[in-house]
Amino acid sequence: MRLSIRPGNSLNGQVIVPGDKSISHRAALLGALGDGESRIEHFLNAGVTDAMLSILTQLRVPWQREGENLSISGNGWQGLHASLQALNCGNSGTTMRLLAGGLSAANIPAILDGSPGLRKRPMKRIVEPLKKMGVSIEATKGCAPIIISSTNLPLRGILHKMPVASAQVKSCLLLAALAADSPCIIVEPGPSRDHTECMLSEMGIAIEKWTETENNRVWYFTRLNPDHRQLLPPLNISIPGDFSAAAFFIVAAAIVPGSCIALQNVGLNPTRTGLLEVLIEMGGNIQITERVTPGAEPVGDVTVRHSVLKGIEISGSTVVRMIDEFPVFAVAAAYANGKTIVREAKELRFKESDRISALGGELTRLDVDFSETADGFIIQGCQVRGDAIVEAHGDHRIAMALTVAALAAEASVGVDGAEFIGESFPEFLPCLKKLGADVSIVEEGNGE
Ligand code: S3P
C-alpha cells in the first residue's frame, strides 16, 4: 500500500493513542496463565496482538473482545493445551519470546514460528538460557522455528548475564522462572522496560531489583524468587496509551510549523520515555502532566508545540529507554539544527528491519545527510527535501516515521509498504488526518 503525503498543513488537536503494545502482550499471556476471569481495558487491537490472541485460541484459552475490552478465562497452569500445529507469531518478536517463557513454565510442548522476517531475528538469546534452566528447546541456527518439547518440572533458577539489554529476553526468563525451584537472577547492561516485573509484582510474585557498578558500568539486576508455580490471580487492568505510538505525534508536532498536539493518557514508565528527555534537551516545547492512577504504571498527558530543535549525542542507558523510538527520533534529528550522533545502538539492527540501514537508505532518498556507523548513525540536520518515494522495509515503525518525515518536507512524498502500520497502530492515518495532515492512500497493493 502506498501513502501520499502532501506537506504544509499544521497539525492541531487531541489524540488518544491505542493501548500499550508491550503491556497488551503481557496482559493477554498473564491472563491466560492466571486462575479466573481477567478483565483488560484499552487493549491494543492490532496485527501483533491479534497474533497473540489467535495463539491463545489455538491453545484453547477462552477469551472475548468487545472493542478495546478483553476478557480472558484463565484456568491456572492447567488452562493451556498443546496444539499440533505451529503457533504463528506473525512478525512479532515479543509474541514469540514471551510465549517461549510462558509455555516453558506451563510445560506445553509447542512449535513457535512466524513470518520470514521473524525467522531471521536472533532467538539464541532465549534458547540458551532456557536450556540452562532445564527446558527442552531447540532452534535451528539460533532462529525460529523454535521447538519446545515436554520438560521435567521444576525448572532450575539461573544467574544469567545478558550481553545486551532486552525486555523480551528478561521477560521470557522471568516467565519461565515461575516454574523454577530456586531464584532466577537476570543481569542487564541497561534499564530495559520493566512492565513484566510491574505486573508480576502486582500479582503477588516476589521480585527484587537493584543496580551494581563494575568498572564504571552500571548493571541492572532483576531477581525472581519463585514459589514453584504459585497460582497467578486474574488481572484487572486498564492499559495506558502506548508511549511508542505517541512518539510519532510528539515528533510530528515538534517539526511541523504552527502545530500543537495534546496526547492524553499516555504511559510514562521511565524505562520507556527516553525520547521525551532527549527532545526536551534538543529544545522541544513539551509539557507533561502526570495523572494519579491506581496501577503501577505512571500515566499522564503530553502537549507538544512546534519547536526549534538542535542536534544531540545519545548513547548508553538513554538508548535502551528509547529503543523503539529511533526511527522517529532520526526524523527529529533530520529537522534539527546541527549534528546528531547515536552510539551503542547496534540492537537497532535486529528489530523488524535493520533500522540503521533502513533509515539510512530511506532518509537519504529524502535528501537527509545520514551516515551509518556500526552501532548507530550520524545526521547533519537540515531542511528535508522530499519529492521521492520511500519504502517501509516491512517495518511498521519505519513506515510511520517516514510518514512523519514527509509532513514537514519541501515537497510531496510517497511511502510504500504502509500496510505494515496496522501491525501496531491501525488508527495512525485517521488520527493524522483528524489533526489536519494531508495524507491519502494512493495504491492499495496486496500487502506483500
Ligand atoms: C519489547 C521490548 C523491546 C522492543 C519491542 C517490545 C517488549 O525489544 O523493541 O518493541 O515488549 O518487551 P527488545 O527486548 O528486543 O529490546
Asked if the model's pLDDT at residue 336 lies above 50, the reply is yes
Reduce the secondary structure of 338-391 to three states and give it as a string.
Answer: CEEEECCCHHHHHCCCCHHHHHHHHHHHCCCEEEEECCEEEEECCCCCCCEEEE
Distance (angstroms) between ligand 1 centre and the Cα of 9 equals: 33
3-state secondary structure of 3: strand
Whose alpha carbon is nearest atom 13 of ligand 1? 166
Whose alpha carbon is nearest atom 16 of ligand 1? 166
Write down how long the chain is: 448
Mean pLDDT computed over every residue of the chain? 96
Answer whether 194 contacts ligand 1 (Cβ < 6 A).
no
Answer whether 151 contacts ligand 1 (Cβ < 6 A).
no
Answer whether 133 contacts ligand 1 (Cβ < 6 A).
no
Tell me the mean pLDDT in the region 103-107: 97
- List the catalytic residues: 324
Q: Which of 48, 52, 14 is nearest to 33 (CA)?
A: 52
Distance (angstroms) between ligand 1 centre and the Cα of 168 equals: 5
pLDDT band at 381, cuts 50/70/90? very high
Answer whether 95 contacts ligand 1 (Cβ < 6 A).
no
Q: Which residues 6+ apart lie within 8 Å of 148 measured at CB?
A: 100, 103, 104, 108, 109, 110, 111, 112, 135, 136, 137
Instruction: Give pLDDT, residue 293.
Output: 82
Same fold, 2-19+240-443 and 21-227: yes
Q: For the sheet with 63-66, list strands across it.
A: 63-66, 69-75, 35-41, 236-238
Whose alpha carbon is nearest atom 15 of ligand 1? 166
Superfamily grouping for domain 2-19+240-443: Enolpyruvate transferase domain (3.65.10.10)
Summarised one tens digit per residue, pLDDT across range 264-289 is 999 999 999 999 999 999 999 999 99
Question: What region does 393 belong to: left with phi over 0, alpha with psi -120 to 50, or beta?
Answer: left
Asked if the model's pLDDT at residue 239 lies above 90, the reply is yes
Instruction: Give pLDDT, residue 167.
Output: 98
Q: Which of 31, 44, 10, 150 is nearest to 426 (CA)?
A: 44
Closest ligand 1 atom, CA of 165? Answer: 16
Boundaries of every domain in the chain: 2-19+240-443, 21-227
Instruction: Give pLDDT, residue 13.
Output: 98
Write out the H or E segment, with its range, that includes residue 276: helix 274-281
Summarised one tens digit per residue, pLDDT across range 179-211 is 999 999 999 999 999 999 999 999 999 999 999
Euclidean distance between CA atoms 239 and 318, whole angstroms: 24
Instruction: Give pLDDT, residue 175.
Output: 98
Tell me, yes or no, if the pTM score tops 0.75: yes
Instruction: Give pLDDT, residue 140.
Output: 87
CATH topology of domain 21-227: UDP-n-acetylglucosamine1-carboxyvinyl-transferase; Chain (3.65.10)
Instruction: Give pLDDT, residue 445.
Output: 63
Instruction: Give pLDDT, residue 180.
Output: 97
